[in-house]
Structure formats: C-alpha cells, structure tokens
Amino acid sequence: MQHVTCTGTALAMALLPLVVVGALLAKALATDPMTPVNAMITSGGHRARISPSEWRRCRRSAAGALRRWKAAERR
C-alpha cells in the first residue's frame, strides 16, 4: 500500500507544474470563447452564401447515407 501511495504522490508532484502552467497560460491569453458568436452578432449575422446546387448535393448525399444506414440496420 505504501508503494501505491508513494507512486501517486510522485505522479501528482510531476503533473502539478503542468497544471499550474496550463492555468497561467489560459489566464494570460484570456480569450473569449464566444468570439465567433460576438463577431456574427456585430456583423449583422451575414454569412457566406451557399448556392442551391450545393444544397441539393448535400441533401442527396445525406439521403444516401440515411438509406445505407437503414439498410445496414435491417441486416
């Protein structure tokens, strides 16, 4: 039991500096996880346009994938 305790302590001591450095780095960068959302709101919500042909191609591939999935489910 003492061997396990000693190993756990050594592991904790080895990982502690990594955790501290990671926390300090995250705090120093202080990036906002909502940045893409904020950019979309302030730009009026304009996004890249997708052509109708791209929508059709996407719909066809999704329908094919659904058909294959249902066929595999029946087997």
Mean pLDDT rounded to a whole number for the chain: 78
**pLDDT tens string 53-69:** 888 888 888 888 888 88
User: Residues 38, 32: contact at Cβ < 8 Å?
Assistant: yes
Q: Encode pLDDT of 15-24 as tens digits.
A: 888 888 877 7
Report yes or no: 30 and 23 within 8 Å, Cβ to Cβ: no
What phi, psi does 38 have (nearest 5°)?
-60, -40
Q: How far apart are CA 28 and CA 71, in angstroms?
A: 52
The verdict on pTM exceeding 0.85 is no
Mean pLDDT, to the nearest integer, of 20-44?
A: 71
